[in-house]
């Protein structure tokens, strides 16, 4: 705080002390305290190069066409190695290990939140309320690896989600203490049986629905791309006796489940399927599990309420790096602990890029078509994507 501000503060404090010496001057004290706050904090803002109104202003920052949201360094690397050169912008409030946003000359940026609900929410709030960027017309592509249901996809498959389902917003009993007839220890909040719907919504983050037009555009633009694979992933797939688990990776449209607990096994996996059906009234199909997406979307929802982003411009792409449950002859714990050797990690990272870049390229190269929202017939642009 500079000398002028301290002098002004001292003067106001002196006046405030005199004002409250009698009851009839209490109102004056209130007005003076307000003036003091305005002066002191306004002065601090000016000292930081900001005006008070700029704390909450919209626009004026760097315009971004596409913001790619990744969760850790290797997810970011698949984009950073290919779409540069980059300008590096440090953003206050981002995760300590990922303080910078990288932007290229075509209006594409990459940020990394760090993993988990808390990091995702905090980082997206910091980004979306930063005046360094104008995100009002930005398309967000949330792109990360995930566990995958072998009944819906396989290692390396990529899935565009229409529904984001929060797995942690349930009641849970240790499975060793659950009622005998329950398939797992999970039950909806306020319900008495596992097949009942929630009686109340606690967090208001349990379910989000993505703009179907944007999801369909992502699927259409990526459905014919050649996806990466690995010998290790092929060997893991061969242990499963059914499709699509034992088939090569493909582009899918199915939904994703958020939760900070990294789980594995048939019983929890079956609950994931059931829970998704329950919350989406039968419309959603669970296929991938991850930690961050509901938290990311909630942060962007709050930014949208402030006029800083457009929720119709958010897409979620997840790639299967490991199966969420065991194959025949394998235990749940063996499945959990073998994720590194399953062979899906490298192709999943690669396929995030291969499936995501057609949408990004299309948006950038045909920006007038996308500026006011998803084109009415985006499939017409498929041939121009690359």
The predicted pLDDT at position 297 comes to: 98
124 found inside a domain: yes
Closest CA to 191 of 173, 166, 207, 209: 173
d(CA 158, CA 137): 26
Domain co-membership, 128 together with 34: no
The predicted pLDDT at position 59 comes to: 65
The predicted pLDDT at position 171 comes to: 86
First to last CA, the chain: 54
Domain count, the chain: 2
179 found inside a domain: no
Domain co-membership, 25 together with 165: no
The predicted pLDDT at position 98 comes to: 98
75 found inside a domain: yes
DSSP state of 103: E
Asked if 19 contacts 33 with a C-beta cutoff of 8 angstroms, the reply is no
The predicted pLDDT at position 199 comes to: 73
Domain co-membership, 18 together with 156: no
Domain co-membership, 277 together with 330: yes
Domain co-membership, 94 together with 117: yes
103 found inside a domain: yes
DSSP state of 384: G
Domain co-membership, 72 together with 49: no
313 found inside a domain: yes
Domain co-membership, 125 together with 219: yes
Phi, psi of 253 (to 5 degrees): -125, 105
Domain co-membership, 151 together with 13: no
Domain co-membership, 242 together with 291: yes
Residue for token pair 């704390």? 55
Q: What is the DSSP string of 323-380?
A: ESSPPTT--HHHHHHTTTTSS-HHHHHHHHHHHHHHHHHHHHHTHHHHTTSS-SSGGG
Q: Which residues of 190-207 are buried (b: 16+ CB within 10 A; e: fewer)?
A: ebeebeeebeeeeeebbb
The predicted pLDDT at position 134 comes to: 97
d(CA 237, CA 75): 23
**Domain end position, chosen among 15, 32, 55:** 55
Asked if 311 contacts 142 with a C-beta cutoff of 8 angstroms, the reply is no
Phi, psi of 23 (to 5 degrees): -65, -40
Handedness of CA 37, 43, 48, 52 (dihedral sign): positive
3-state secondary structure of 100: strand
Show the domain range for 15: 3-55
3-state secondary structure of 256: strand
190 found inside a domain: no
In this structure, are strands 314-323 and 186-187 parallel, antiparallel, or unpaired?
unpaired
DSSP state of 90: E
d(CA 177, CA 287): 28
188 found inside a domain: no
Two tokens at 356? 């995501």
3-state secondary structure of 290: strand
271 found inside a domain: yes
Domain co-membership, 225 together with 261: yes
Q: What is the pLDDT along the chain (386 residues), one digit of tens a residue?
A: 333 333 333 333 333 333 333 333 333 333 333 333 333 333 333 333 333 333 455 668 999 999 999 999 999 999 999 999 999 999 999 999 999 999 999 999 999 999 999 999 999 999 999 999 999 999 999 999 999 999 999 999 999 999 999 998 888 899 899 999 999 989 988 888 888 888 767 778 899 999 999 999 999 999 999 999 999 999 999 999 999 999 999 999 999 999 999 999 999 999 999 999 999 999 999 999 999 999 999 999 999 999 999 999 999 999 999 999 999 999 999 999 998 899 999 999 999 999 999 999 999 999 999 999 999 876 555 444 33
**Domain end position, chosen among 15, 30, 55:** 55
Q: What CATH number is associated with residue 78?
A: 3.40.50.1580
Asked if 310 contacts 136 with a C-beta cutoff of 8 angstroms, the reply is yes
Torsion of CA 24, 25, 26, 27, to 10 degrees: 100
Residues 6+ away with beta carbon under 8 Å from 151: 242, 244, 245
Asked if 171 contacts 295 with a C-beta cutoff of 8 angstroms, the reply is no
Torsion of CA 58, 60, 65, 69, to 10 degrees: -60
Domain co-membership, 22 together with 133: no
DSSP state of 106: T
Asked if 316 contacts 211 with a C-beta cutoff of 8 angstroms, the reply is no
d(CA 334, CA 330): 6
Secondary structure percentages of the chain, helix, strand, coil, to 5: 40, 20, 40
d(CA 291, CA 115): 7
Domain co-membership, 98 together with 156: yes
């Amino acid at each position: 705080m500079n000398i002028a501000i301290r002098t002004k503060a001292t003067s106001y404090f002196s006046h405030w002390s005199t004002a409250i010496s009698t009851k009839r001057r209490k109102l004056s004290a209130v007005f003076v305290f307000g003036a003091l706050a305005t002066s002191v904090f306004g002065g601090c803002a000016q000292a930081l190069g900001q005006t008070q109104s700029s704390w909450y202003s919209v626009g004026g920052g760097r315009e971004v066409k596409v913001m790619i949201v990744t969760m850790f360094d290797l997810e970011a690397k698949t984009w950073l190695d290919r779409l540069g050169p980059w300008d590096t912008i440090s953003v206050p409030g981002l995760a300590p290990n990922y303080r910078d946003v990288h932007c290229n000359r075509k209006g594409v940026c990459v940020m990394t939140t760090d993993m988990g609900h808390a990091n995702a929410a905090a980082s997206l709030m910091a980004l979306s309320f930063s005046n360094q960027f104008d995100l009002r017309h930005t398309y967000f592509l949330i792109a990360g690896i995930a566990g995958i249901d072998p009944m819906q996809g396989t290692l390396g498959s990529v899935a565009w989600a229409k529904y984001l389902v929060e797995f942690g917003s349930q009641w849970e009993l240790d499975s060793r203490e659950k009622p005998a007839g329950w398939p797992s220890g999970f039950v909806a909040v306020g319900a008495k049986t596992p097949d009942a719907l929630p009686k109340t919504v606690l967090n208001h983050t349990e379910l989000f629905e993505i703009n179907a037009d944007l999801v369909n555009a992502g699927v259409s633009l990526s459905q014919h791309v050649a996806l990466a694979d690995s010998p290790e992933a092929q060997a893991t797939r061969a242990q499963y006796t059914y499709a699509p688990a034992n088939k090569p990776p493909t582009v899918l449209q199915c939904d994703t489940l958020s939760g900070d607990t990294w789980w594995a096994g048939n019983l929890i996996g079956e609950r994931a399927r059931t829970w998704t059906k329950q919350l989406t009234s039968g419309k959603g199909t669970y296929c991938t599990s991850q930690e961050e997406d509901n938290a990311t979307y909630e942060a962007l929802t709050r930014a949208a309420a402030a006029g800083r982003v457009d929720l119709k411009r958010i897409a979620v792409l997840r790639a299967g790096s490991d199966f969420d449950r065991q194959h025949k002859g394998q235990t749940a714990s063996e499945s959990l602990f073998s994720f590194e050797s399953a062979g899906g990690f490298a192709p999943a990272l690669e396929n995030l890029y291969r499936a995501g870049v057609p949408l990004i390229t299309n948006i950038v190269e045909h920006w007038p078509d996308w500026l006011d929202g998803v084109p009415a017939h985006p499939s017409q642009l498929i041939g121009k994507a690359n």
